[in-house]
A and B are shown apart, each in its own frame.
Chain A
Amino acid sequence: QVQLVQSGPEVQKPGASVKISCKTSGYSFTSDYVHWVRQAPGQGLEWMGIIDPKTGRTSYKERFQNRVNMTRDTSTSTVYMEVSSLKSDDTARYFCARDSRLSMVRGVHYPKFDFWGQGTLVTVSS
C-alpha cells in the first residue's frame, strides 16, 4: 500500500535551518510528483512547492523561493525539504503529499493529492 512516512518533530531557533524527510513506499517513486504543504497552528493549508522525483525538477511558491530547497534520493525513495532562515511564523506542521501523474478523468490529467504523510511539527523558538 502507498505510504509516505515523515521524520519526527523538530525544534529550531530563529535563523536556523531544518530538513524534513518524506520516505515513500508502495508505488514507483519516480512515477509521481510530491508536494509540500504546511499548516500553522489553528490555521489553514498552504502549498509550498513540488518536486518531480524523476528529474529532480522543482517549483516553489514565490514567497519561499529563496528559503526552501526540495531534493530527492531515488535510492531510498525519499524526498527532502530544507527550510532555511527560520522565523517564528514558520512554526507549523509540514506535510508531504503524493500527486499521481496518471490521474486521468475523461482523458485529461487532473492533479490530486491522494496520499499524505503524517506531518512533521516544526517549532521555531528562541
Chain B
Amino acid sequence: DVQLTQSPSFLSASIGDRVTITCRASQIISSYLAWYQQKPGEAPKLLIYAASTLQSGVPSRFSGSGSGTAFTLTISSLQPEDFATYYCQQLNFYPFTFGPGTKVDIK
C-alpha cells in the first residue's frame, strides 16, 4: 500500500497567517493526490484534487502543488473557518490511502 505522511501533525496559527502542510508518498503517485478539510462531527470536504486543481466553490486562498512523492497544501491567509483537520489522499493505486491528518488550531 502507498503510505502517506503529513507534517506537521499539529499546527498552531493565527488569523491571517500563511500556512503550509506537507504530504509525502512512499512511492510515486504522479498528481493523483487530493486534499480534504474536516471539522468535528462533519464529513470531509474536498479542497484540491489532481494535486493542484481547486474544487469548485473552494476559496482561492487554498492552493496545492507538487507531483511524484512530495506535495503541499497552502492556505494563503488563514480565516476563522479554516481551523480544522486536513488530510491528503492518494488516488493512484488501490487501496486509496489517506495521510494521518494535520490539525490546525488557533494560536
Contact = CB atoms under 8 A, between A and B. Distances in A.
The DSSP consensus for interface residues of chain A is strand
Contact of A110 (B31, B36, B94): B31
Contacts of A113: 34, 36, 44, 46, 89
Given A110-B49, A112-B49, A114-B55, A47 B96 contact: yes
Contacts of B91: 110-112
Interface stretch (B14-22, B73-81, B97-105): B97-105
Interface residue range, chain B: 20 to 34
Interface of B: 31-32, 34, 36, 38, 43-46, 49-50, 53, 55, 87, 89, 91, 94-101
A84 interface: no
Interface stretch (A8-16, A72-80, A116-124): A116-124
Interface of A: 35, 37, 44-47, 50, 59, 61-62, 95, 97, 103, 105, 108, 110-114, 116-119
Contact of B34 (A62, A112, A118): A112
A114 B53 contact: no
Contacts of A110: 31-32, 49-50, 53, 91
A44 B49 CA distance: 19
Contacts of B46: 112-114
B98 A44 contact: yes
A35 to B, nearest CB: 7
A45 to B, nearest CB: 4
Nearest to A60: B95
A47 B88 CA distance: 12
22 contacts: A37-B98, A44-B98, A47-B89, A47-B95, A47-B96, A59-B94, A61-B94, A97-B43, A105-B50, A108-B50, A110-B31, A110-B53, A111-B34, A111-B91, A112-B46, A112-B49, A112-B55, A113-B36, A113-B44, A114-B49, A116-B45, A119-B43
